[in-house]
Amino acid sequence: MTGEFIVAATGCPTGVAHTFMAEAALKKAAAARGIEIRVETHGQIGLENGLTSDEISRAVGVIVAADKDVDSGRFSGKHVVEVGVKEGIHNPDALIDRLLAETSSAQAASQTPASGGAGTGQPRDENDFLNVAAIDTHTGDGWRKHGRAVYKHLMNGVSHMLPFVVGGGVLLAASFLFGIYSADPTNDQYNPIAEMLNTVGSLGLGLMVPVLSAFIASSISSRPGLTVGLITGMLASTMGTGFLGGIITGFLSGYGMQLLGLLLSKMPAALAGLKAIFLFPVLGTLIFGGITYVISAPMAQISTGLEDVLTRFQGANPLILGLVLGIMCAFDMGGPVNKAAYVTGVALLGDGNITFMAAVSAACIAPPIVTAIAVSLFPRGFEPGERRAGYVNYALGSTHITEGAIPFAARNPLVVIPILMLSSSIAAVLSLIWGAGSPAPHGGFLVLPVVTNPLLWVLAIVIGSAVGGILFGLYRLRNSRRPAAATTSTGVRATA
């Protein structure tokens, strides 16, 4: 035994597999070298095997292999190596080497003043939870670290948002099994169970944007960010900005509260309680809530304008209309552009136009099915956790929950979103050409009994999704071979 002791934290957005694969890899690598290690995990059910303050104090350093917030503020005063969760899976030995080498260097230079912050080996001011990490803009590494931090904050929001989307969306879809208008007490189809499912499901789904905003902000600036992010996210949702509004308010609230903390950092220590309990929530809500109020109106107006354009577009050539609907529905998957298409479809149902709604539904169902087909046909291109999430997307897509594709798109939106747009467009075009119609505004395949030309409608979705699934799968398969070849050449076994 070398006598060295290190601690680590792992976490991934979905919290299903990567979290625990990184834990196992780090433990195995440490054991092979006689190093004692304790690893806490941040999976979908929350924190497990949490590190104690004594363990953190005793450790020579910390490895954080996570794509979500793991409360790194606890490690103040310790040298921290912070990477993505995949690094923990594929390169555990290299991470341990890096931690030990950098810790030794930091100890050797301990007499030299250095700036604080995670990863520097210097303690941060415990009262200043809002320290801004300096980014070296003269190096590519600095920008990469900044980009990874932004991705981590976004994924922290997405990982907390998804259970609300799944729980609320499935219950809302199930309510239509009793009839399209079964949740309406004034309609002959009324059923109290359907009303309950519709009410609970709609509430759960409605929390998507506030939760996304809150946990993006929380990842950036801890509890003050959570409070203000939740309020601004709820405001953005109420004002009709959709998924995109949640992202904007999350980063606005998180970085805004970070800046506010710096501005108030010179207050006397005796007023720390007043700052935390009164000034942060009041000033944060006032300032960033006000900004959200101002920017939400233009975003909502954009959606309204798009709805007006689409309404005038309803009689256009099926090829053109389907292409427009497909691009809009897959563009932001729940944001104002997607919502404009969806709300227009709902509004046109009142005029008796059910083919437009069927095309919108087909375009919304396709993206998650694309990811499901991709992981099924090209499993080697995806990590085990991604495969499990992809298989779940068969169920999410079938119930009209587009958001299941978001974690896949977020990894490389410039490539993945165009593929999803193509798939949604094919599904929408074929749905229009084949005359499918849906009088139900939600529900996916659960409302097939009321869909006109249901088999052709399903076929349109399958064809569009299959095209995208093959393209996406081939892209990921080719992309996965590059790092696999690189890690194999350095003697580190890659996991397909």
Whether residue 283 is contained in a domain is answered as no
CATH number at residue 49: 3.40.50.2300
Q: What is the pLDDT of residue 428?
A: 94
Q: What's the pLDDT tens digit per position in 193-245?
A: 999 998 998 898 788 889 989 999 998 888 889 999 999 999 988 887 777 78
Active site residue 364: no
Residue ending a domain, choose from 71, 106, 124: 124
The parent domain of residue 50 ranges over: 5-124
Is there a contact between 135 and 148 (Cβ–Cβ < 8 Å)? no
Whether residue 275 is contained in a domain is answered as no
Number of domains within the chain? 2
Whether residue 324 is contained in a domain is answered as yes
Whether residue 297 is contained in a domain is answered as no
Residue ending a domain, choose from 104, 124, 144: 124
Whether residue 81 is contained in a domain is answered as yes
Q: Say which residues have a Cβ less than 8 Å from residue 34's Cβ, sequence separation at least 6.
A: 1, 2
Q: The tokens of 342 are what? A: 């969806």
d(CA 65, CA 316): 51
Whether residue 382 is contained in a domain is answered as yes
Q: What's the pLDDT tens digit per position in 295-314?
A: 888 877 776 776 677 666 66
Q: What is the pLDDT of residue 313?
A: 66
Q: What is the pLDDT of residue 488?
A: 45
Alpha-helical runs (H) found in 8-91: 18-32, 53-58, 85-90
Whether residue 92 is contained in a domain is answered as yes
Whether residue 134 is contained in a domain is answered as no
Residue ending a domain, choose from 100, 124, 148: 124
* Sites in the chain below the pLDDT cut of 50: 1, 111, 113-139, 484-496
> Which candidate in 12, 35, 180, 364 is catalytic?
12
The size of the chain, in residues, is 496
Q: DSSP for 89-123, please give it.
A: HH-HHHHHHHHHHHHHHHHHTTTS----BTTTTBP
